[in-house]
Amino acid sequence: MDATRAFPACLTIDDAPSEDTTRKLSALEARGIKAIWFCRGEYLDRRPDVAVAIIQKGHVLGNHSWNHPAFSSMRLSKARAQIQRTEALIDLAYSRAGIPRPARLFRFPWGDKGAGTHLERPPEPAGAERVRALQAMLREFGFVQPAFDGVAFPPYPFYDLAGDADTWFTFDAMEWVLVSRKPRDGIDSLDAVLARIDAHLRAKRHDVEARDRGEVVIVHDFEATARTFTPIVDRLVMNGASFSLPHGMLGHRAGGGGR
Ligand SMILES: [Zn+2]
């Protein structure tokens, strides 16, 4: 095996909080890792105490809409309501935790910034106006991109991944495929998910320009992917991922012993 080389990474966990969040928090605490949890409002409504626990453990909450609709096919007024209702619950969780909210972060469901999901097809020119309108709405709410360490987002039609107000990613662990019942990209087992991580990071190590770049990793907080979470995190670390929160995002009273 080629020598591992450390690179900066940020762990983002989508579709939280779940019945499995508390276990994930313990696993991350044992490894000294803090993450950004992009929450659905409907789940925050169901598990408000879990949201407070995430904050008190030194992690960050982000907004992932109320119930995960496709933002390319809904009225802008509905999009606003999806964001606003979820913001209210996140603000409430921070207030209950007694910790100031470090930043307003947003991630679009399905990677759909208003012109179609990134997985199914490239964004359509017809959606460019909606993409701009949604970005303007996010800025109005005060959403910002985290200051990721050394991350270079690829160029993408109609999107300014580095300049937009939502939070994008550089590596999707794709473990969600295991619960979707529709194998994709040859992923049909946890082993396949882990092998894909190895392959991605082996290629990264061999690419002089990319090897020191940061990665923004997506995993999910579904109950159904509970058994994949720890193996995925450990495999990323084994391959050199050095996880930390973006600058300025450590909770004031949390993270004892951290920076
Ligand atoms: Zn999601």
Query: 14 CA to middle of ligand 1, Å?
Result: 5
- Please report which confidence band the pLDDT of residue 124 belongs to, taking 50, 70 and 90 as the band edges: low
- Residue 120 CA to ligand 1 center (angstroms) comes to 15
Domain ranges of the chain: 7-243
For residue 8, the cross-strand partners are 242
Å from CA of 33 to ligand 1 middle:
21
Q: What rounded mean pLDDT belongs to the chain?
A: 91
In the reported structure, the alpha carbon of residue 241 is separated from the centroid of ligand 1 by a whole-number distance in angstroms of 23
Mean pLDDT of 222-243: 94
Hey, CA dihedral for 64, 69, 75, 77, is it positive or negative? negative
- Report pLDDT for 255: 41
CA of 112 to the centre of ligand 1 (A): 10
Dist. CA 110 → ligand 1 center (Å): 6
Centre of ligand 1 to C-alpha 149, Å, is: 23
| Ligand 1: centre distance to CA 255 (Å) | 26
Q: Is the pLDDT of residue 36 over 80?
A: yes
List, for residues 2-32, the tens digit of each pLDDT value.
Answer: 578 999 999 999 999 999 999 999 999 999 9
Taking 50 as the threshold, does the pLDDT of residue 85 lie above it? yes
What is the 4 CA–ligand 1 centroid distance (Å)? 31
Bridging pattern class, strands 241-243 and 215-220: unpaired
Cis peptide before 48 (omega within 30 of 0): no
CATH superfamily of 7-243: Glycoside hydrolase/deacetylase (3.20.20.370)
**How far is ligand 1, taken at its centre, from the CA of residue 68, in Å?**
6
Q: How far is the CA of 209 from the centre of ligand 1 (A)?
A: 30
Residue-level pLDDT at 2 = 58
Closest alpha carbon to 9 in 209, 197, 236? 236
Q: How sure is the predictor about 251, in pLDDT bands with cuts at 50, 70 and 90? A: low
Place of tokens 């992923």: 187
Helix (H) or strand (E) holding 36: strand 35-39
Residue 3 Cα to ligand 1 middle (Å): 34
> Could you report the per-residue pLDDT of 38-60, keeping only the tens digit for each?
999 999 999 999 999 999 999 99
Both structure tokens of 221: 């907080």
**Phi, psi dihedrals of residue 143, rounded to the nearest 5°:** -70, 145
Q: How far is the CA of 155 from the centre of ligand 1 (A)?
A: 22
Q: How far is CA 196 from CA 150, 175, 239, in A?
A: 22, 10, 12
Q: How far is the CA of 83 from the centre of ligand 1 (A)?
A: 14
Task: For strands 35-39 and 215-220, give the pairing.
Answer: unpaired
Please tell me the distance between residue 111's alpha carbon and the centre of ligand 1 in angstroms.
8
Query: Percentage of residues in the chain with pLDDT exceeding 70?
Result: 92
Q: What is the arithmetic mean of pLDDT over 99-117?
A: 92
Distance (Å, rounded) from C-alpha 16 to C-alpha 41? 9
Confidence of residue 256 (pLDDT cuts 50, 70, 90): very low
Q: pTM for this one?
A: 0.93
pLDDT at 258: 37
Contacts 24+ apart (CB under 8 A), 192-196: 193/228, 193/232, 194/231, 194/232, 194/235
Identify the pLDDT of residue 223. Answer: 86
Residues 6+ away with beta carbon under 8 Å from 211 = 5, 7, 204, 205
User: pLDDT digits over 139-160, tens only?
Assistant: 999 999 999 999 998 887 778 8
Q: Which residues contact 30 (CB under 8 A, 6 or more apart)?
A: none
Q: Residue 96: is it exposed, middle or buried by C-beta count within 10 angstroms (0-12/13-18/19+)?
A: middle
For the chain, the distance separating the N- and C-terminal CA atoms, rounded to the nearest angstrom, is: 32
